[in-house]
Amino acid sequence: MTNEEKQELEQLRQEVERLNEQNRELQDAVQKLIARNMMLADKLDINYEVRRRVDWLKDLVRRHREYVAQADLRNDEELLALIEARLEGENIPLPPEFGIREVAEIVGTTQSRITSLYKEKTIYHSLDKYLDFLRLMRALRILKEHPAYSIEAIAHDAGFASVRTLNRKIQEALGITPGQFRDINNPDD
């Protein structure tokens, strides 16, 4: 092999090495682009999910506004039945702070309408007394169905502010303590 051929061969080797280096750089760039595209696809999925949820919430708000607008068109009996169905049928939690404002929001009417409805059309004469009745019924059901629960846990689950309040309400309604009620309904324990 002549010197000229050797030089040409060396140049070709250098060119091959340079091309191999460029190929490695391009492969790295392609891998980075693939990773970036996958990240962007994930972001698009997240954005789509967020948009879907926002649209769902907007629809919910729109329906609620329509519901509120039509709520006062119901007659009193329908509204009372709706309140009863929502509070009793859907087993909505009734913490101590749950009151007229929350009920008005749930059924889409005004607080003043609910106040006058309970005062004039029910045996409870106030929404608070009705909510106490519901809490009492829940507490009695829990006492009967779950005899191992503590009285404190039952008071909390039923929505009473304290064990003392639960004791007082059961004593007023039945003339016995929660423990006595539990014993009567679970004689085997």
**Residue 164 burial (C-beta neighbours within 10 Å; 0-12, 13-18, 19+):** exposed
Q: Tell me how far apart the 2 most distant CA atoms of the chain are, in Å.
A: 119
Based on the fold, state whether residues 6 and 32 are members of the same structural domain.
yes
* Total domains in the fold of the chain: 2
Task: Kindly provide the b/e burial profile for residues 135-157, where b requires at least 16 CB atoms within 10 angstroms of the residue's own CB.
Answer: bbebbbebbeeeeeeebeebbbb
Based on the fold, state whether residues 57 and 107 are members of the same structural domain.
no
Residue 74 in this model has a pLDDT that exceeds 70: no
Nearest to 132 by CA among 112, 155, 148: 155
pLDDT for residue 12: 87
Based on the fold, state whether residues 60 and 80 are members of the same structural domain.
no
137: domain range? 76-185
pLDDT for residue 132: 93
pLDDT for residue 106: 87
Q: Are 160 and 166 in contact (CB under 8 A)?
A: yes
Q: Kindly report the CATH number assigned to the domain that includes residue 157.
A: 1.10.10.60
pLDDT: which is higher, 124 or 62: 124
Could you tell me if residue 159 is left (phi over 0), alpha (psi between -120 and 50 degrees) or otherwise beta?
Answer: left
Based on the fold, state whether residues 67 and 80 are members of the same structural domain.
no
Structure tokens at 69: 């607008």
* Cα distance between residue 22 and residue 77, in whole Å: 81
pLDDT for residue 172: 92
Based on the fold, state whether residues 132 and 53 are members of the same structural domain.
no
Residue 133 in this model has a pLDDT that exceeds 70: yes
- Out of 55, 71, 87, pick the residue that ends a domain: 71
pTM over 0.75: no
Based on the fold, state whether residues 61 and 84 are members of the same structural domain.
no
